[in-house]
Chains A and B, each alone.
Chain A
Amino acid sequence: MNQKKKLEDQLYYAGLIVFVLSILALWIYYRLLPLQLFADGCVWQRVLGIYCPGCGGTRAVNALLHGNILLSLWYHPLVPYTAILFGAFMVSQTAARSTKYRYFKGMRFHNWFLYLALVILIINFVGKNLLRFVWNITL
């Protein structure tokens, strides 16, 4: 039980660092976009002609930031999945720590969160390419 608590403590502090770094990365991304640092697009699409496992991720983040959860789910389902799980974990843990665990314990971390993320990634990669090459449905 103590090891579980220790794991969640470390994940919480790592999550805080990731949250700050992601805000910094978003700021850099929107600042550097006019410089066309990432303007080449996906190398997979240019070289192999297929969607890569991360294709649609940037559009999904944009859609999520604009409040379009369903559109974000269509572009890349891993983005809203991660945002919801990560947000729920961080908010509940912050609330529990600020009240010193008097009212609730906060969301627990389970290993299947990551395994499910991997399954979503694989299904999205296979499904998007099937939609593209079999039914001509593109992103």
Chain B
Amino acid sequence: MDGNNFSNEPDNQDNLSNQNEQTTESNQNEQTTESNNNVYQDYTSNVQNQVPPTQYSAPEEKQTNVLAVVGMILGILSIIACCLNTYIAIIVGIAGLVCSILSQKQGKSGMAIAGIVCSIIGLVLNLSILVIGLVAGPALQEFVNQYGNYF
């Protein structure tokens, strides 16, 4: 036992010395990494035009304007109302066109464009019918009276 102890003593001392060396080496390594980190931080701190972190925001949902909805409804009505009365259809078409154009000022939307298109189609159809009726109405009536109502 003693021999073992005797024989082990220098080994223990060697181990202790090795441990001390390892701790000193690890301390040195830590110091070097810290110094590296400091160097890295210094470099980054000198950068002036840094890109700000990107901010992800939820896409805003496009809201339809009430004027755009009313304009499109009036545009469809102006197309339909030609069967009822041409003058009423023209008034409705003008109202739809005005509503759609006003809604475009508050923000462009597909509904407003559709309202403008429908109102213009209604106005063109009704105005053309009105002009045809006023200009060629009597001649058409005579034609129908002479040759019968083909349609």
Contacts and interface: CB of A to CB of B under 8 A. Distances in A.
Partners in one complex: yes
Interface of A: 3-4, 7, 10-11, 14, 38, 42-49, 52-55, 57-58, 78, 109, 111, 114-115, 117-118, 121
Interface in B59-73: 63-66, 69-70, 72-73
B81 interface: yes
A111 B70 contact: no
Contacts of A42: 82-83
Nearest to B141: A46
B120 interface: no
Which 10 residue pairs spanning A and B have beta carbons closest together? Answer: A54-B83, A49-B151, A54-B80, A3-B63, A10-B66, A52-B83, A42-B83, A53-B79, A114-B72, A55-B83
B69 A114 contact: yes
Given A114-B69, A114-B111, A118-B118, A7 B80 contact: no
Given A43-B129, A118-B118, A11 B76 contact: no
